[in-house]
Amino acid sequence: MKAKELMDKDFVYLNADDSVIDASKAMEDVRRFTCPVVNDKKQLIGWITAFDITKGLREGKEKISEVMSSCEEVASVHEDDPARKAVILTANNKFVTVPVVNDDNQVIGMVRACDIVELLSNLYDIKVVKLYKAMQNQLNGVTWEELMAASALVSKKTTGKKISPEEYEANIMDSTFGEAIWATGGLEKFFAGLISVGEMVIARRVGRAKK
Amino acid sequence: MKAKELMDKDFVYLNADDSVIDASKAMEDVRRFTCPVVNDKKQLIGWITAFDITKGLREGKEKISEVMSSCEEVASVHEDDPARKAVILTANNKFVTVPVVNDDNQVIGMVRACDIVELLSNLYDIKVVKLYKAMQNQLNGVTWEELMAASALVSKKTTGKKISPEEYEANIMDSTFGEAIWATGGLEKFFAGLISVGEMVIARRVGRAKK
C-alpha cells in the first residue's frame, strides 16, 4: 500500500500571505488542526498548526508567513512511499497529520492519524472464525467439526480448562483477531496455537487412515 | 487491554472559568489540540478543541464556559472499557483524542490517535521470520531447512515464480507482518499460506517416514 492510497484529499492549504483570521476560519470549517502552506505552484513551503494560529491571533499577527513553520521543519512523504513510512512518522513523532507530496513537491493529500487508526484497526476487527474458515479451506477434506474438536483439545492443553467443541465455536464466532492476540499473549503465540490445531487435525486424519 | 493501559496521562484539563487566552497558552505549551473541561472534583463537564479557542479569540470571548462544548457532546470511555472501544470511536468519528473517565466521572487520561497508531503499528512491524520460528517451534522436530524448502515450494505454487529456500529465507528476514498481509492480499490469505507450509512440512515428514 502506498501513501497516496491512504491519504485524505479533503484538506485545506494556505498561502503565505493569507490572513491569520481567514486561515483560522477555514481550519474551523473543515475541522483540520494542521494545514500545509503552499506557493502558487501548490508546492509545500511551510506548515501551520492550530497552535501557530492561536498564538498569532493573541499576538495580533496578520499574515500566515509570520506564524508558519518553515518547510524544512515539516516531515512529508512522497505519494509512492509505502504507507508504512507515514505510519512510522506518525507513531514516532505523535503527529496528527503528515503531508503527501508528488515529484514536483506539490501537496496532493494528507495522511491523518485517525485514518491510519481506521486502516490498522480493520485488521484487528477481523473475526477469528474467518481464519478458521481459511484454515479449513486450506486443509482439503477437513470438516468443520474435526477442526472444532481439535481446537477444543488444543485449547484444553494450553489453558488447562475443559471446553467443548461447541463452546469453542461460539467463542471464535464472537471474538476478533485483536482480542485473540491480546488474549493469547501476542501474534506469535496466537499463530502457534493455530498451527498446533492444524497439526492435530492432520495427525488425527493420518491416524484414522491407518486404521 | 483496557483503555487505562493505552491512555496518555500527560494531558491538561481546563476549568469553565479559565480565560480563553490562558487556555490557549496552556494548550500550546503541552501541544494538545483538545482538552477536557472539568469541575472542582475533576469530573468531565465539557470539551475544548483548538477550533473553540481560535473562534473564541477572534470573537473576544473571555471564559472557557463561553466556548466549550457541553459534556453531552463528548464521547468518553471508562478506564476499564476495552481499549478497542476507544480505537473504534477514534476510527469512526475521526477523533484526535478520547477522554478516559473513572467510576466518579473524573478524567484520568486521554487516548490519543497517535498513541493508537503506535500500538497498532507495533503488530504490523513484527518480522515474518518470527512467525516461522514460532511455527518451527510448534512443529516439533521440523528443521529450519525443511521449513524453508516447503515454503519455497508453496510460494512457487502460489505465485508461479521459482524461488530457492535461501532466497525465501532472505525475504522473510526483511519483511514485516504488515508487508506480508498486504502482499498476500489480506490476513486470511497470508494465514492460509502459512497453514499450507505447515501442511507440506508434515506431509513430507510422513512421506519420509513411510520410506
pLDDT of B133 reads 92
Q: Which of A162, A165, A159 is nearest to A201 (CA)?
A: A165
Residues 6+ apart with CB under 8 A from B32: B11, B12, B97, B110
B75: closest CA among B28, B36, B119, B23?
A: B36
Where residue B66 falls among pLDDT bands split at 50, 70, 90?
Answer: very high
pLDDT digits 0-9 by tens, B74-94: 899 999 998 888 988 888 888
DSSP string, A165-181: HHHHHHHHHH-BHHHHH
| pLDDT reported for residue A211 | 63
Q: Angle, to 10 degrees, between the axis of helix A83-93 and the axis of helix B113-124?
A: 130
Structure confidence at residue B203 as a pLDDT band (50, 70, 90): confident
Count of other CB atoms within 10 angstroms of residue B208: 9
> How far apart are the C-alpha atoms of B146 and B200, rounded to whole Å?
10
**Chain B residue at shortest CA distance from A54:** B54
pLDDT at A125: 84
Residue B55 three-state SS: helix
ipTM: 0.78
CB pairs under 8 A between A and B: 188
Give the phi and the psi of residue A25 in degrees, each rounded to 5: -65, -40
Residue A119 contacts residue B120 (beta carbons within 8 Å): no
| Cβ atoms B121, B177 nearer than 8 A | no
What integer pLDDT is reported at residue A102 of this predicted model?
96
Query: What number of H helices and E strands is found in chain B?
Result: 11, 7
Put simply, the chain A residues between 26 and 65 with a CB less than 8 A from any chain B CB are 27-28, 31, 33, 49-51, 53-55, 57-58
3-class DSSP assignment, residue A70? strand
pLDDT of residue B211: 64
Contact indicator for B101, B107 with CB cutoff of 8 Å? yes
A191 and chain B in contact, CB less than 8 A:
yes
Domains defined for chain A, CATH in brackets? 3-110 (3.10.580.10), 125-210 (no CATH)
Out of A25, A53, A117, whose CB is closest to B117? Answer: A117
User: A21-25, B22-26, B184-188: which has the minimum mean pLDDT?
Assistant: B184-188
User: Tens of pLDDT along B27-57?
Assistant: 999 999 999 999 999 999 999 999 999 999 9
Separation of alpha carbons B198 and A167, rounded Å = 26
Whether the pLDDT of residue B63 is over 90: the answer is: yes
Residue at A54: amino acid letter: T
pLDDT given for residue A64 in this prediction: 97
Which triple of cell numbers denotes residue B18? 479559565
Minimal CA separation from B102 to chain A, in Å: 23
**Residue A36, strand partner residues:** A47
Residue A198 has a pLDDT of 86
User: Which grid coordinates are listed for A58?
Assistant: 493573541
Check if the beta carbon of residue B55 is closer than 8 Å to that of residue B67. yes
CB contact under 8 Å between B121 and A95, yes or no, is no
Which cell goes with A73? 521543519
pLDDT of residue A4: 93
Residue percentage of chain A with pLDDT more than 90: 54
Cα A2 to Cα A87, A100, A119: the distances in Å are 11, 11, 13
Contact state of B135 with A58 under an 8 Å Cβ cutoff:
no
CA torsion angle for B80, B81, B86, B88 (degrees, to 10)?
160
Q: Give, in degrees to the nearest 5, the angle at Cα B40 between B34 and B44.
A: 40
Judged by average pLDDT, the poorest of A43-47, A105-109, A206-210, B21-25 is: A206-210
Could you tell me the CA-to-CA distances from B118 to B93, B111, B180 in Å, in that order?
19, 12, 19
- pLDDT recorded at residue B124: 82
Collapsing DSSP states into helix, strand and coil, what is residue A4? helix
Quote the CA–CA distance of A164 and A169 in Å, as a whole number: 9
- Of B53, B137, B178, Cβ closest to residue A54: B53
DSSP string, B10-42: ----EETTSBHHHHHHHHHHHT-SEEEEE-TT-
Chain B environment of A88 (Cβ under 8 Å): 121
The tens digit of pLDDT for each residue in A86-121 reads 988 888 888 889 999 999 999 999 999 888 888 888
Which residue spans within chain B are E strands per DSSP? 14-15, 34-38, 44-49, 69-70, 77-78, 97-101, 107-112
Distance to chain A for B39, nearest Cα, Å = 24
B196/A117 Cβ within 8 A = no
Q: For testing the chain A interface, which of B114, B122, B140 should be mutated: the one with the most A CBs within 10 Å?
A: B114
CA distance B148 to chain A (A): 16
Angle at B136 between CA B1 and CA B183, to 5 degrees: 70
One-letter amino acid of A128: V
Are B19 and B62 in contact by the 8 Å Cβ rule? The answer is yes
| A132-136, A206-210, B16-20, B116-120: the lowest-pLDDT one | A206-210
Residue B179's pLDDT is 83
Q: Is the pLDDT of residue A78 over 70?
A: yes
Contact call for residues B97 and B110 (beta carbons, < 8 A): yes
Q: Is B205 helix (H, G, I), strand (E, B) or coil?
A: helix
What integer best gives the mean pLDDT of chain B? 90
The pLDDT of A130-157, averaged and rounded, is 90
Express each pLDDT in A172-187 by its tens digit: 998 888 888 878 888 8
